[in-house]
Amino acid sequence: MMRINKNSLVLFLGALLSMGINGCGSKPETENQAKSEVKGPAAVQVVMPLEDQPDYKLTLPGELKPYEQVSLFAKIKGFVKTISVDRGSLVRKGQVLAVLEAPEVSQRFQSARSDQQKFYEDYMLSRQMYERILKATRKDGSVAAIELDRAKSKLRSDSAAYQSAISNAQSLGQQEQYLKIIAPFDGVVVERNVSVGALVGENNTMPLLVVAQNKKLRLTVAIPEKHAQSLGKNTRIDFTVSNRPGKIFHSVLSRKSQVLEQQNRSVTAEFDVENQDGSLDGGEYAQVTMTLRRPDSTLWVPASSVVHAQSGTFVLVVENDSVKKVDVSEGTRKDSLQEVFGSLTKTDKVVRSGNEELLNSGKVKVN
């Protein structure tokens, strides 16, 4: 009687099972390969770019600044004798805000005035002497010609000395005027950094007073580079500030820089804002909404057509039943349309729903 080894039987059954499993798996793989070989071209929908010049809104932050602001320093060294204003004081143009005391300046000015008077008297005496000698020379032989020349030279010298004394006195007189700190325009004092008795001038880096014009303000807004050319001379804006909720203010473009700032690649626009009632404060931040319009027509495609990939930003254009990549840069967006710039024409067939995989799909079929 034949005996069967149990270990040999187990190995035999395992081999049969392995052959069966491999045989079953090979059939679906063959079918999938056949299916992939008969798969047709990818179906896509296309649109043509829209050429348009629409108005669009842009919201940006802005900053309200005083229309004019100046820091007042002492031009000459001296002590603060009086100061008649404080932080928040309203001032008028030409008003004396503070008076300095510098005795040496006043003394030099008085000395210069005395010198001016002395040189004036010398000049007048020389002039009289010259006129008398000139009159005497009309009588032949009464006065030598050399005396007339000497008198004329003395007159010129005294005249020059007198003019120099006038200039010196005016210069010292101007320095004495610097002892008065004058308001350069109507406004409000926003800083006061000194008190009576303080020594100011020369090496002091801190201003005595800071005066700002608050009845008129400048609203400055940084316009990004891609929107700079859309800013027209009559661009109107609406803006709000946080301390006046619900209140909307208006203005029109007053001026703009014609050169892009290199740091943030933007153009600074300024809007003058009347503030006679003092409802706004200089230094506030504002939320600005403006309506812009491109100077020329541009191309627009559905936002879904623009592909953002590691290789860049592009759209897909169908040409001869295949797709090609056209690099673009984005402008603004309006509803479902995206403004694009690049080597694109309004007759190109742009894939409505672009994706990077279509570049490797070979032929495509347009639905």
Mark whether 144 and 48 lie in a shared domain. Answer: no
Residue 193 inside a domain? The answer is no
Nearest to 220 by CA among 142, 172, 283: 283
pTM, rounded to two decimals: 0.63
Where among 258, 274, 293 does a domain terminate?
293
How many domains would you assign to the chain?
3
Where among 235, 265, 293 does a domain terminate?
293
Where among 240, 270, 293 does a domain terminate?
293
Residue 125 inside a domain? The answer is yes
Mark whether 111 and 167 lie in a shared domain. Answer: yes
Residues with Cβ within 8 Å of residue 287, at least 6 apart in sequence: 59, 61, 62, 239, 240, 241
Nearest to 124 by CA among 170, 166, 162: 162
Mark whether 311 and 347 lie in a shared domain. Answer: yes
Mark whether 247 and 304 lie in a shared domain. Answer: no
Residue 11 inside a domain? The answer is no
Mark whether 174 and 235 lie in a shared domain. Answer: no
Mark whether 116 and 174 lie in a shared domain. Answer: yes
Quote the pLDDT of residue 1. 38
* Cα gap 80→72, rounded to integer Å: 13
Q: What share of the chain is helix, strand, coil (3-state, %, to 5)?
A: 30, 35, 30
| Consecutive H or E run containing 155 | helix 145-177
Nearest to 331 by CA among 291, 301, 287: 301
Mark whether 266 and 321 lie in a shared domain. Answer: no
Mark whether 278 and 305 lie in a shared domain. Answer: no
Mark whether 239 and 336 lie in a shared domain. Answer: no
**Cα Rg of the chain (Å, integer):** 45
Mark whether 284 and 320 lie in a shared domain. Answer: no
Quote the pLDDT of residue 40. 67
Give the residue carrying structure tokens 């100061």: 83
Looking at residue 211, its amino acid is V
Residues with Cβ within 8 Å of residue 285, at least 6 apart in sequence: 61, 62, 63, 64, 241, 242
DSSP reduced 3-state for 69: strand
User: Tens of pLDDT along the chain (367 residues)?
Assistant: 344 444 444 444 444 444 444 444 444 444 444 444 445 678 889 999 999 888 888 999 999 999 999 999 998 888 999 999 999 999 999 999 999 988 877 777 778 788 888 888 888 988 888 888 787 777 766 667 787 788 888 888 888 888 888 887 777 777 778 889 999 999 999 999 999 999 888 777 889 999 999 899 999 999 998 888 888 888 999 999 998 988 999 999 999 988 888 888 899 999 999 999 888 988 899 999 999 888 888 999 999 999 999 889 999 999 888 889 999 999 888 889 999 999 999 999 999 998 888 887 778 888 8
Quote the pLDDT of residue 141. 60
Residue 199 inside a domain? The answer is no
How many Cα neighbours within 13 Å face the side chain of 5?
Answer: 4
Mark whether 284 and 302 lie in a shared domain. Answer: no
**Taking CA 235 as the corner, what is the angle to CA 230 and CA 236, rounded to the nearest 5 degrees?**
140
Mark whether 110 and 127 lie in a shared domain. Answer: yes
Residue 264 inside a domain? The answer is yes
* Cα gap 61→222, rounded to integer Å: 8
Residue 192 inside a domain? The answer is no
β-pair partners for 100: 80
Residue 110 inside a domain? The answer is yes
Give the residue carrying structure tokens 């045989």: 23
* Cα gap 167→118, rounded to integer Å: 14
Residue 197 inside a domain? The answer is no
Quote the pLDDT of residue 140. 64
Q: Work out whether the CA dihedral 14, 17, 23, 24 comes out positive or negative.
A: negative
What CATH number has the domain bearing residue 268?
Answer: 2.40.30.170
DSSP reduced 3-state for 292: strand
Q: Could you tell me the residue range of the domain that residue 104 belongs to?
A: 70-182
